[in-house]
Amino acid sequence: MGTKLIQRGITRYDIESQGTFGYMMRISRGGEHTNEFFSDKKYRGKRRALAASRARYNELVSQLPAPKTTKGVRTHRNQSGVVGVHLSVCESTYGKVYSSYCASWKTKDGLRRKISFSFKKYTKKLAWELACLARELESIDRAKIERTLRSRTRKKTRSQSVEAGNSSPKTEKKARKGNAKTPTK
């Protein structure tokens, strides 16, 4: 049969040609690596060997520091400047080139998700903003991403107009009405 991942840190080994049957427990933290094999023969069966490997793994997890995560860490391979967003350029069989920005991430379940925004449908700038937002939200729901971008853009333009001292036409109209109602002496 070979090997099979049972859970994080524990792998089942069934290698008949070598007579190896049991569970390998592995854990790495801070550059230190621990590997221990729990043989079916030594523990008198698969269930006991699995229970022993799980107990040892849990014991080490409680003693060792928390693992360092690389989520959101930019590496030397990143060329876009945003983690999880990259430029995708594809050529069709007819020689036509299609460009888009693609956002990708891993879900909590370990599944990979991605969504692309083409330069043809959106502009290059808008495709970039949508891809960055999709990565931030970790969502493949296009409508949700577009709504969020619109609402953020509206908030941004409002705050910029307030900072500049400008007000919207509705605010100006209300101010004029308020001035007209104020009695003069």
Phi, then psi, of 124 in degrees rounded to 5: -60, -45
Question: pLDDT digits over 139-169, tens only?
Answer: 999 999 999 999 988 887 777 777 776 655 5
pTM: 0.53
Q: Dihedral, CA atoms, 129, 132, 135, 141, nearest 10 degrees?
A: 10
Please report which helix (H) or strand (E) contains residue 3, including its range. Answer: strand 2-7
Looking at residue 184, what is its pLDDT? 47
| Structure confidence at residue 182 (pLDDT) | 43
Percent of the chain past pLDDT 90, that is, above it, reads 55
Predicted confidence at residue 166, as pLDDT, reads: 62
Residues in Cβ contact with 72 at an 8 Å cutoff, skipping those fewer than 6 apart = 83
pLDDT value for 183: 45
Cβ-Cβ contacts under 8 Å for 100 (sequence gap 6 or more): 87, 88, 116, 117, 118, 119, 127
Q: Across all residues in the chain, what is the average pLDDT?
A: 85
The percent of residues above 70 in pLDDT, for the chain, comes to 88
- CA distance linking residue 36 with residue 66, whole number of Å: 20
pLDDT given for residue 21 in this prediction:
94
Mean pLDDT for the stretch of residues 66-91: 82
> 136 falls in which pLDDT band (50, 70, 90)?
very high
* pLDDT-derived band at 171, boundaries 50, 70, 90: low
